[in-house]
Amino acid sequence: MKKLRIGKHVVPLKVLVPILMISVLSLVSYAASVTVTTVNTQSVSGVLYNVAGGFTAANNGFGLTSVAATATTLPAAWTNAGTITMATVAGNWQYSITVTINAGATASTTYSVSVQWSTGGSAYNALGTQLTFTTPASITPGQTMTFIFDSGETDFTAPAGLVITIQ
């Protein structure tokens, strides 16, 4: 059996080789980078929330737009208690959600918020346009923003389902 002399000690190669292999594999495994993105999916009363980790969303429902509003410039900067809206038309129905930022959100990253709706059947269509925002360089959990989507409709059948996506 071959042996290797290390200083005053003699180590058999059949012991040394497995130790070296484990050391090299451990180093390679440690050096590998893994990125995990969490998506939380929840369905409540016909609303499916497909929300990236680091955020929660709450349904504020539909309301009639009383005064037209111009669209927010996108991507908007995250502003606590702020509002991001697409252009709205007086007399149209609008849909609103509140998004809460949590500790898991990635700083200085642009996210999109979109809503799809179905007034029956299996087809889902975009409700308005996608809204985008950029998180601040420092995340403060618990801050909220409101997102407003114009339905483009002055009269419609209540939706059978909504899908809210933040990614």
Give tens-digit pLDDT for 27-43.
555 544 444 445 555 55
Buried b (16+ CB within 10 A) or exposed e, 35-72: eeeeeeeeeeeebbbbbbbbbbbebeebeebeeebebb
With a cut of 80, say whether residue 91 has pLDDT above it.
yes
pLDDT band at 122 (very low <50, low <70, confident <90, very high): confident
The rounded mean pLDDT for the chain is 84
Q: Which residue has the higher pLDDT, 109 or 53?
A: 109
Question: How many whole angstroms from its chain centre is CA 39?
Answer: 7
| pLDDT band, residue 101 (cuts 50/70/90) | very high
